Structure 1
């Protein structure tokens, strides 16, 4: 990419084909199927070669323009090879999280037209065969062997209009069966351009760590902008502290992007200085508790380390951004309690990218400081839900505004506060998110707190980092808060989560109801 950041509009396959043979190695914590890793390292040129051969294989099997093919794999490297190979011949990959079971995937695909095949591996081959929907089922561990025998494609990717679909991912599924989310070529190109621009503006150099679901749109964008910027990558599939410490300590990355849930799991590693080389931390998908942000900033050895907290959605990408700088971010514990309970500050809209407004139940814009539905207008909007097109239409309003499904308020300076998901709102406190932030800051020995509502009272679900739950410390921490029942203490592993680590509150509420005998709810 040139020094003036000119748009080249190349997507994954063509960017891979432009990789230099002497490019710095990528680092992985696992063994992909299509490309062998040696001592944790993979040559990007080997990934490019596998993608070029995969394109030849898919074309020989009759895959062509507009064909939808499910990619249900574990390794980001394998996903990159398959997605690049499919898109080279004009097909549209549908990325599915490896954490989803075959029955759920079957429900997701049932209303979706034009899905020709499912590419997966391991036990998922047999489990999806049992679904019996008649789609072609390919075992990637077998196909990868055939890929190695193919001649690499030498032509560029098939030229298609900017409005043509490029890739399909899916929502978290916090409230039910995940919705498939389709992005056009123009939207993926735009996301990649914005991230590459930020990489250049902030003069980011060195290795970047991505610990993301292989099925998420953010992963596709991360791979694209990293290729455009010739940025060497560390791709982590797991969160094992020993492995993470070894790899991060060896390669000393300067950038880290993962989901809030993983940041929470790695807090002790941050305290131990494992991420001391990281200057830039980046989180999206879900709100991140302030105490977690501060632990990572303190754990960085960089004088002006920064933590980018992005509020976003699968349908839009980043909506707003808030930057925390080491030594300059004021603790919210010193803020007025009433102000803190209003919600979680998520910054301002991304200049030149997103416009944000707050509307009432009838869709009328409300004044600054008045809570309401958060709506966004952006060029980065998805095109449709292939399995729920009626829901995609319902979320749009006149003028190109998209209803996020979130409840919040915007002050007169344009600063946005996230109060709750519209379906998760509770009647007993202004914001369950704000209460969770407050409790975790007051009780750092807790790993997670989820606020639910039951019979007009707050039912907190708590997870300790280690050891027994400290009831005396809990009572002291909630002394100035009213309407709290005794907490339900659970193991972290037992919390129902999505592929990106979001807590499935409705599922958790049902489980708590089974324990207590009364229905817990998030409204």
Structure 2
């Protein structure tokens, strides 16, 4: 028998012998492309994608994505180039999530709610070689193309009439594909997607994802959300938003069913859940509010069981949790951002929580929770010392993340990349506390903290109380400049339809009954709340309004 030993001069040990180096048989780059390839092999005749009366099997899904990859190659797209897609939640968007990377290209899913100048900036900055557009968005796409420095090849999907001069029809392109292409990445660090941040200050930043991160984050979602082969997933979350939180890849990985929803409509959501037997969906808080306040005649009771809902953003108030549970939904609270592929933490339930009264349970489930299985580390640190804050549920710090599901960086922006990833952490910019059980709880964005008379006031804490008022449907709290206190809370409130409108004084009194008095709003403004293209409340605009009130 041959023996190996570590020698005193540092020669390699047996486990480091060169013949044990990675090779093709035991080292393959991780990529979500494997998910569709496997599901097409295992479930070829299973329905994979639904849009209205249209049904695609996993065999169809894989064939069309591979044909798209071949067609892109025939258009001259080479590995590493960008292919942009502007489409609602329709099958072409799912096909692009596999067909574009299968061609070796980088997918840039454009926000469908942006204006033409914003789209033009992204097309130029990302150097898109091809732009695939759903026919319903062709007017804004043409305006954007007119403003680009180097217009990409235009491909139009779904139109009954011929595409504009010089453009190609998507189905014709697939039919003319020289053959299927399915090219896995040479290494898992290869870029798979480019996503632009909302750009509330300055130009938006282009966040680059790699195949490894997309693969792992998708599987983290599978585990966290308990997706199974018999799951039915409704697309209430835009696929352009962090690649649909990587759910195009996650749902496909287990061979579950995608139900496409091109536009948010509460009546259609209830209908599809009931008739398609939907088991899972993801949604921004604004969608939850729409479902709770939908007319009774469109709400339905689900006979196939309860529906799991993953939501991000601010913690759902207890009134929203109660309203959703009454309708047959069970909420899972997530946290994430574009820079970490969407969801990175979840409020994992513990034994006994479900038996608690709603108010007690809401306090626990409102927390952003613990890191997903595929995230390596999560902490809350003092931004001045980079040391972890005490796990006392009170000391504020910055939430930081580390792992394989953190972005590669910002395209063409080294300074911002270095600043955001400095010190071995993804700096989220969110202020949080660390509880004794290691669950994190977001208290505010650092820019949203209100400092009144030297005291920190969490806008989220005030909003939670406002949501308890029976007449309040939506609320947002920002700082209003104040000569005496520096800043005071200013509440912007949208009332529920048909209620007797309370006065601002009544709202303030309600808040003072549930908060320390200095935390209660000093000003209340009624009306609709401005929102970004992804449904987030635009606090930047509200802060500007509050500043005008003070001037």
> How far apart are the structure 2 equivalents of 1:224 and 1:22?
19
Q: CA 1:291–1:326 in 2, change beyond 3 Å: closer, same or farther?
A: farther
Deviations 1:273-331 (A, max 9, x none): 5456334221125533332122212221xxxx742101111212333211469953543
Give matches, 1:57-456, under 5 Å: 57-112=71-126, 114-120=127-133, 121-141=137-157, 142-151=168-177, 153-198=179-224, 205-219=230-244, 221-269=246-294, 272-274=299-301, 277-300=305-328, 306-316=330-340, 317-323=342-348, 327-332=354-359, 345-351=367-373, 353-365=375-387, 366-369=389-392, 370-398=395-423, 400-428=424-452, 430-441=457-468, 443-455=469-481, 456=487
Counterpart residue number, 1:484:
521
> How far apart are the structure 2 equivalents of 1:458 and 1:343?
26
Whether the 8 Å CA contact 2:32–2:211 is kept in 1: the answer is no
Deviations 1:64-119 (A, max 9, x none): 1111122222234212223422212211111111011121223345554x433433
Whether the 8 Å CA contact 1:49–1:152 is kept in 2: the answer is no
Tell me the SS of whatever aligns to 1:448.
strand
Whether the 8 Å CA contact 1:173–1:498 is kept in 2: the answer is no
Q: CA 1:464–1:444 in 2, change beyond 3 Å: closer, same or farther?
A: same
Query: How far did 1:16 drift?
Result: 6.7
Tell me the SS of whatever aligns to 2:497.
coil
> How far apart are the structure 2 equivalents of 1:502 and 1:445?
21
Query: Which stretch of structure 1 is more off in the superposition, 358-367 or 417-426?
Result: 358-367
Query: How far did 1:187 drift?
Result: 0.5
Match of 2:536 among 502, 509, 513: 502
Q: CA 1:146–1:15 in 2, change beyond 3 Å: closer, same or farther?
A: farther
> How far apart are the structure 2 equivalents of 1:57 and 1:283?
36
Whether the 8 Å CA contact 1:375–1:404 is kept in 2: the answer is yes
Q: CA 1:469–1:173 in 2, change beyond 3 Å: closer, same or farther?
A: farther
**What TM-score do you get using the length of structure 2 for normalisation?**
0.80
Q: CA 1:167–1:274 in 2, change beyond 3 Å: closer, same or farther?
A: farther
Number of aligned residues: 487
Query: Which stretch of structure 1 is more off in the superposition, 269-278 or 58-67?
Result: 269-278
Structure 1: runs of 5 or more not aligned: 1-5, 29-36, 519-523
Match of 1:463 among 470, 475, 494: 494
Whether the 8 Å CA contact 2:65–2:95 is kept in 1: the answer is yes
Query: How far did 1:42 drift?
Result: 4.3
> How far apart are the structure 2 equivalents of 1:500 and 1:248?
22
Tell me the SS of whatever aligns to 1:375.
strand
Whether the 8 Å CA contact 1:212–1:237 is kept in 2: the answer is no
Counterpart residue number, 1:521:
none
Structure 2: runs of 5 or more not aligned: 1-27, 158-167, 482-486
> How far apart are the structure 2 equivalents of 1:286 and 1:510?
21
> How far apart are the structure 2 equivalents of 1:184 and 1:257?
23
**Greater Rg, structure 1 or structure 2?**
2
> How far apart are the structure 2 equivalents of 1:461 and 1:212?
25
Q: CA 1:427–1:109 in 2, change beyond 3 Å: closer, same or farther?
A: farther
> How far apart are the structure 2 equivalents of 1:169 and 1:275?
36
Q: In angstroms, what is the RMSD of aligned CA positions?
A: 3.1
Q: CA 1:291–1:354 in 2, change beyond 3 Å: closer, same or farther?
A: farther
> How far apart are the structure 2 equivalents of 1:505 and 1:163?
36
Whether the 8 Å CA contact 2:70–2:178 is kept in 1: the answer is yes
> How far apart are the structure 1 equivalents of 2:231 and 2:49?
12
Tell me the SS of whatever aligns to 1:345.
coil
> How far apart are the structure 1 equivalents of 2:497 and 2:50?
31
Q: CA 1:72–1:395 in 2, change beyond 3 Å: closer, same or farther?
A: same
Query: How far did 1:176 drift?
Result: 4.8
> How far apart are the structure 1 equivalents of 2:236 and 2:193?
20
Deviations 1:386-410 (A, max 9, x none): 1533212111123x21111111111
> How far apart are the structure 1 equivalents of 2:93 and 2:537?
25
Counterpart residue number, 2:12:
none
Tell me the SS of whatever aligns to 2:249.
helix
Query: How far did 1:15 drift?
Result: 5.0
> How far apart are the structure 2 equivalents of 1:159 and 1:65?
9
> How far apart are the structure 2 equivalents of 1:7 and 1:230?
21
Query: How far did 1:375 drift?
Result: 1.3
